[in-house]
Structure 1
Amino acid sequence: MKKIILICIIAVISCTGVWFFKDKTLLRTLSGWKLYSTDCRELLDDNGELDTRIYSSFGLGRMKKLTRLEVESQDKYDFLEKLKNLEVLNVNINEDHTIDISKFPEVRSLKELVIFDCDFTEICTEDISDKMPELESLSFYSCHITDDNIRDISKCNKIKRIQIYGTDEKLYDLYPLTKMDNLEELYLEAYFPDFDLSPIAEMSKLKVLECAVYNDEDLKITTHLSSVQKLIIYSNSFFPNCGDDKPELPENYFDELESLEEFSAYSFTIGDKIDISSLPSNLKEMTFIDCNISENVKNKIAESGIRIKVKDSA
């Protein structure tokens, strides 16, 4: 009986063209087999999206209408060259691979690149501006990001959004990012106690900023961002083993944030000296996570018509 089942499977594979396994290990039962044909249109939805994470690139080059792809890291990425409509690429780094973008083919259609990791793998971003000239969004999760990466990224003149979440490396120099004329969103949700935050004040087109502040000078820098519409700040006490003090927001903190619409603070003290009447006229929502904030301040914010959210922890 097992031989008959195996013969049937082989016959199906040979009749339908190119196939690949989703799972790396060969499953023993017929119901456990997960085979997908890269020629089957049902793999793509109406928007050309492929929801299933791909472990093998075998045959992907034949999916001409593919616009979004999530793939495990590969030895080679030659198949990307044939995906002329690919706009979003998510790469999940596994323990057997690193990422070297200089070895990628040119992917002119790509708008968004997201790289996930669990082991803080070093990322080579050399030539990224040549390989992905139309890139608008770049995200790193738990990757080993250095100043060299920042310099490489700064050459991508069409990038509008940069996200760096959870890195084991301490960044020092953000200045190259000030040369990016189209940068509108910068997310730095990671512990960088030694890096210089001052270049952010020169990013005149920045609309969204998420970052940690480690001292009064850093906090002051975030008050001069007249173009920012959404601001998310963390004190160092938000991060594990980085202190317990919750710094107080200055009473004039919001005076120059004239474009601000959404504000979130993590692990700060919001004192009664804050002048609620001088809050930005466009401010619609304020969120306080793990903050010391009095009932008096909360009530005044709510009475001003601003939506307020207060949570004990993230």
Structure 2
Amino acid sequence: MSDSNLLGEFLRARRGRIPPADVGLPSDENRRVPGLRREEVALLAGISADYYLRLEQGRNRNPSAAVLESLARALDLDHAGVEHLMRLAAPRPPSARRRPRRPTVPATIRLLVESLNLPAFVEDCHFDVLAANRLAMMLSPNFQIGHNRLLSTFLDVEERTLFPDWDAMTADMVAAFRTSVADAADDARTIELVGELSLRSQRFRELWGRHDVQPRVGTRPSRLMHPQLGELTLMREKLVISGPASQLLVIWHPHPGSDSAEKLALLRSMTVSVEPSTSPDADRPDGDDDATAVRDTRRRSTP
């Protein structure tokens, strides 16, 4: 992955997904490209076809705010898409492409995660898990320190079983990831993740090529099929925390009085003898007995 022409790639991907009929243009069988042609986007945006071509090819990287707003309207971008377009067009300093220093979670946040009676963990902009409580690990062994949620979701068969709405969930996840790494598109960790997932997951390749974006923070309902508890419906909250940039606190919670609330209470009772796993120095703890026990239980219980 390179940021050499991210703006052009985004424009090309978005125009390719707009049916001509949706913007009042005739559609015929002789079209050689899906979606809109370059000159059609230029016409809708009120700019010259040559200027738009230079934007897509990366030969002009300083479009004005007015041009970007016109392109956003022509491409029918939502709020998240407009913000992403503006970020891609903003000047950015050259990157040395070195792996950044390992992120650390503020001690107060680690204590908060440990004290919560709900599954909770902290993730960074690359969806690496930096801190997690024992209830989160009982919900999924992949919600533990050192794991990357993208790799787990796309490459771990058991993790896929956990999410019945896997197709919709992965589409949302990749769109949020693209938003999350917009300012770190060429750092070593981003390149490593996108490269590995592109090689090993066709689903990821398809989603990454769509250039969808959506807000990283917010609330979303999720269905989970836990191997011991059966189906749960939980709300997933993603909250910006104080301290290092790009870290989010992720909390899963049920509606009060629901069947899922009762099941989560049962899961909580099963964690009494499990020690918390919020050490900032843990890194892919292959020897973690508690996580291994949960993983083994899932394997025995999964049909």
TM range (shorter): under 0.3
Give TM-score, length-normalised by structure 1.
0.21
Structure with the bigger RCO (C-alpha within 8 Å, sep 6+) is 2
User: Of the two, which has the highest radius of gyration?
Assistant: 1
Structure with the larger strand share = 1
